[in-house]
């Protein structure tokens, strides 16, 4: 093989690796695949069997919506990411576009393709599998939340409302959509089960904004951390963790016994809640290395709130 061919092969390999990193596939699991799958399996309380094609295609739609959101975030946060020197593995984006490995224009092409696929998925589900009149509405809400998290005219993450958009869409909406596509109805009980996820994913977004504080402030990206300052944002973060705990305990009391084990499974995340609250009270978030650990534990907290109940419901149906 000639040196030219070797150079092309290395270039293609580096491009492929860069695109994989840009898609941030591991981050699709926690806010997307797990809660959607949990909502789908919880539908077995109301239906005799799972519609597997709807389950698979629906998960695909969730993934494409999240990928659109991720790529738009990378595209519109390009300048902010260039200025960011305090990022960690959970914040500051993938770092691919600032590196110059992939052109920003190429990202727009991929986004357009993903949007087309997302629309096709919605049409197939609603009219091909007759999943209900709200199928496109629910998918559209999730899509718009992901798009306007960073895109104009709303630019939620630049105005201090992006955290709320993600909390509702990746907390309540994703779990509820999984249930709806299987049953054709919205469930109050499933909505209550989603409340801890709403608080925990909002906490994930909030804590991941701490390392980006200086670059966000420089570029007038008014996240809640920029608006509140680190002390105020730390207090809000602790409140979100407390609300996560309170909502789990409330569900243990309110929801029928059929959901008991799912709620008990969520209680396994409480040590992470306590550990992070103690770290924030001690202002340990001002240490970059410890802050990265807090970010990681918060991501694990949210992951476990849907992951553990998903394991429980899967085992109970075997």
In a domain, 259, yes or no: yes
Cα–Cα distances (Å) from 196 to 96, 108, 150, 241, in that order, read 33, 34, 25, 9
Give the C-alpha separation, 245 to 249, whole Å: 6
What end-to-end distance do the CA atoms of the chain give, in Å? Answer: 53
**Any idea of the CA torsion for 32, 35, 41, 44, to the nearest 10 degrees?**
-130
In-domain check, residue 175:
yes
Per-residue pLDDT band at 318 (split at 50, 70, 90) = low
**SS3 for 186?**
coil
Higher pLDDT, 276 or 6: 276
Contact 138, 173 (CB under 8 A): yes
pLDDT of 268-316, one tens digit each? 899 999 999 999 999 999 999 999 999 999 999 999 999 999 999 898 8
Instruction: Please give the structure tokens belonging to residue 214.
Output: 């200086």
For residue 21, tell me if it sits in a domain.
Answer: no
Q: Is position 2 within any domain?
A: no
Q: Does pLDDT of 32 surpass 70?
A: yes
Q: What would the pLDDT profile of 75-134 be if each residue is shown by its tens digit?
A: 988 888 888 878 888 887 788 888 888 888 999 999 999 999 999 999 999 999 999 999
How many residues are there in the chain?
A: 318
User: Mean of the pLDDT values across residues 174-178?
Assistant: 97
Rounded-to-integer distance, Cα 43 and Cα 107, Å: 36
3 pLDDT more than 70: no
Angle, helices 260-267 vs 188-208, to 10°: value is 10
Residue in 39, 28, 27 with CA at minimum distance from that of residue 306:
39
CATH of the domain at 109: 1.10.600
- The pTM assigned to this predicted structure is 0.92
Q: How many percent of the chain have pLDDT more than 90?
A: 65
- Does residue 246 belong to any structural domain of this protein? yes
DSSP calls for 98-131: HHTSS-HHHHHHHHHHHHHHHHHHHHIIIIIS--
What angle in degrees, to the nearest 10, is found between the helix axes of 34-42 and 188-208?
170
Domain with 167, as residue range(s), is 26-316
Q: What is the pLDDT of residue 30?
A: 86
In this prediction, residue 9 has a pLDDT band, given cuts at 50, 70 and 90, of low
Given a cut of 70, whether residue 7 has pLDDT beyond it is: no
Domain assignment present for 19 = no
Contact 151, 72 (CB under 8 A): yes
Question: Do the domain assignments include residue 4?
Answer: no
3-class DSSP assignment, residue 47: coil
Q: What contacts 259, CB < 8 A, 6 or more positions away?
A: 189, 193, 251
Per residue in 229-270, pLDDT (tens digit) is 999 999 999 999 999 999 999 999 999 988 888 889 999 899
Residue 17 lies in a domain: no
pLDDT band at 2 (very low <50, low <70, confident <90, very high): low
> Number of structural domains, the chain?
1
Residue 37 pLDDT > 50: yes
The owner of tokens 């709320």 is: 164
Helices marked H in the chain:
3-23, 26-28, 34-42, 52-76, 78-83, 96-99, 104-123, 135-147, 162-167, 174-183, 188-208, 213-218, 224-254, 260-267, 270-281, 288-316
Helix (H) or strand (E) holding 317: none
Residue 4 has pLDDT above 50, yes or no: no
Using the predicted structure, report yes or no on whether residue 28 has a pLDDT greater than 90: no
Cβ atoms of residues 191 and 252 within 8 Å: no
> How many other C-beta atoms can be found within 10 angstroms of the C-beta atom of residue 145?
22
């Amino acid at each position: 093989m000639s040196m030219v061919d070797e150079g092309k092969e290395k270039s293609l390999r580096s491009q492929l690796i860069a695109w994989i990193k840009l898609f941030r596939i591991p981050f699709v699991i926690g806010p997307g695949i797990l809660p959607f799958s949990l909502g789908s399996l919880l539908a077995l309380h109301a239906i005799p069997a799972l519609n597997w094609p709807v389950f698979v295609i629906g998960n695909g739609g969730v993934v494409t919506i999240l990928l659109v959101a991720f790529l738009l975030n990378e595209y519109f946060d390009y300048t902010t990411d260039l200025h960011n020197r305090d990022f960690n593995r959970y914040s500051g984006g993938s770092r691919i576009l600032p590196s110059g490995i992939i052109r920003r224009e190429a990202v727009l092409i991929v986004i357009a393709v993903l949007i087309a696929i997302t629309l096709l998925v919605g049409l197939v589900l609603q009219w091909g599998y007759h999943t209900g009149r709200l199928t496109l509405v629910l998918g559209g809400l999730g899509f718009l939340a992901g798009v306007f998290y960073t895109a104009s005219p709303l630019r939620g993450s630049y105005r201090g409302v992006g955290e709320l958009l993600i909390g509702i869409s990746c907390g309540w909406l994703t779990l509820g959509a999984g249930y709806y596509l299987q049953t054709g109805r919205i469930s109050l009980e499933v909505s209550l089960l989603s409340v801890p996820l709403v608080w925990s994913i909002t906490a994930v977004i909030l804590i991941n904004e701490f390392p980006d504080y200086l670059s966000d402030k420089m570029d007038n990206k008014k996240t809640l951390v920029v608006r509140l300052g680190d002390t105020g944002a730390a207090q809000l973060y602790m409140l979100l963790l407390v609300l996560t705990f309170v909502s789990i305990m409330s569900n243990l009391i309110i929801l029928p016994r059929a959901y008991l084990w799912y709620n008990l499974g969520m209680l396994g995340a409480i040590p992470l809640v306590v550990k992070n609250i103690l770290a924030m009270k001690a202002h340990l978030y001002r240490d970059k290395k410890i802050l990265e650990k807090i970010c990681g534990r918060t991501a694990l907290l949210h992951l476990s709130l849907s992951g553990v109940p998903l394991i429980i419901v899967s085992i109970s149906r075997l």
